[in-house]
């Protein structure tokens, strides 16, 4: 019998978080039928063994080598049997009734192609999880005004800090850590574009779904805790470079080579601004963190200079 929901979870060396995530799904989901597919991304911390031993009903798919976010989720999507597919992170804790609510909501509105819900930080504060599509205007703003709290809520930013996520509305993009999509929509527009190793893949998928005539919707009626950044935070320089690579690929795909070159110039200018600021802090305070940030953005400049 076809389940209502297939939950695709990609895990990379986050055994404890994955355990809590799986337990929360079983503990809080009662009104719908579901299956869970865990794609273990070549973990070395015993994650796969934990799933096999503690959650035998979970379908486990093991990557022999580390793959990208979209690549790994595509394996889960391909093996999924559900009417709806939830793209999910391993660092999530589901609150009571959340998955029941979003699946029932999607069942009731066939015009919705992607549904996201309210994400919370571990301290239960709001995590802003909706975005506008990236374009040259947003890139100029975000690169030339780094870290400006005063301008944080500007509508020129992609992340929607200007909205408190307390009402249902149509948006451009919902965070890739929690995206509910009908199987029929994925069959129509395709799954993730694997050219994006990580970052920008949810922008690309949401754009393709919107271009196909569906709505991307956020609802506050369901809440999920998202710890966030557990995989990438220890690889800041490397992940920053991956982020830039994905963003440039996105601009090339949707706006063309000329726009991609303009984006390179904008990002390079932003990197120079940050190098100057962090270098001043390093010289004045002999701050090791500041020196590390100078190194990080020097690597960004090097990537941009060589990017074709």
pLDDT by residue, tens only, the chain of 308 residues = 899 999 999 999 999 999 999 999 999 999 999 999 999 999 999 999 999 999 999 999 999 999 999 999 999 999 999 999 999 999 999 999 999 999 999 999 999 999 999 999 999 999 999 999 999 999 999 888 866 556 778 888 899 999 999 999 999 999 999 999 999 999 999 999 999 999 999 999 999 999 999 999 999 999 999 998 544 444 478 888 999 999 999 999 999 999 999 999 999 999 999 999 999 998 887 788 899 999 999 999 999 999 98
The last residue of one of the domains, among 195, 226, 257, is 226
Give the position of tokens 């394996």: 75
**Domain membership flag for residue 184:** yes
Residues 171 and 292 grouped into a single domain: no
CB 117 within 8 A of CB 178: yes
**Domain membership flag for residue 158:** no
The total of structural domains in the chain comes to: 2
Q: Which domain holds residue 35?
A: 5-129+165-226
Spatial CA neighbour of 115 closest among 214, 226, 8: 214
CATH number for the domain that contains residue 49: 3.90.550.10
**Domain membership flag for residue 251:** yes
In whole angstroms, give the CA distance from residue 85 to residue 81: 9
Residues 219 and 278 grouped into a single domain: no
Residues 18 and 85 grouped into a single domain: yes
φ, ψ for residue 131, nearest 5 deg = -135, 160
Residues 39 and 73 grouped into a single domain: yes
The last residue of one of the domains, among 226, 253, 275, is 226
| pTM beyond cutoff 0.85 | yes
Residues 222 and 125 grouped into a single domain: yes
């Amino acid at each position: 019998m076809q389940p209502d929901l297939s939950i695709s979870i990609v895990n990379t060396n986050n055994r404890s978080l994955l355990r809590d995530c799986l337990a929360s799904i079983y503990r809080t989901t009662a009104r719908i039928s579901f299956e869970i597919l865990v794609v273990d991304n070549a973990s070395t911390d015993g994650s796969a063994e934990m799933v096999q031993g503690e959650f035998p009903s979970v379908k486990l798919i093991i990557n022999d080598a580390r793959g990208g976010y979209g690549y790994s989720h595509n394996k889960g999507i391909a093996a999924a049997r559900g009417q709806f597919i939830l793209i999910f992170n391993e660092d999530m804790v589901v609150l009571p009734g959340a998955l029941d609510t979003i699946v029932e909501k999607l069942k009731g509105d066939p015009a919705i192609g992607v549904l996201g819900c309210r994400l919370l930080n571990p301290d239960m504060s709001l995590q802003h999880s909706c975005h506008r599509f990236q374009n040259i205007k947003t890139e100029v703003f975000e690169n030339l005004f780094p870290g400006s709290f005063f301008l944080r809520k500007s509508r020129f930013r992609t992340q929607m800090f200007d909205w408190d996520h307390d009402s249902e509305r149509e948006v451009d993009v919902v965070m890739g850590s929690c995206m509910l999509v009908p199987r029929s929509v994925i069959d129509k527009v395709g799954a993730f574009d694997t050219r994006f190793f990580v970052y920008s893949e949810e922008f690309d998928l949401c754009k393709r779904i919107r271009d196909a005539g569906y709505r991307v919707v956020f609802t506050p009626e369901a809440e999920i805790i998202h710890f966030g950044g557990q995989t990438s935070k220890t690889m800041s320089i490397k992940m920053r470079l991956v982020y830039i690579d994905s963003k440039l690929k996105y601009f090339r795909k949707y706006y063309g080579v000329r726009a991609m070159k303009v984006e390179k110039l904008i990002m390079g200018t932003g990197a120079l601004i940050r190098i100057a600021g962090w270098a001043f802090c390093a010289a004045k305070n002999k701050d090791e963190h500041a020196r590390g940030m100078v190194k990080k953005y020097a690597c960004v400049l090097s990537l941009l200079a060589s990017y074709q």
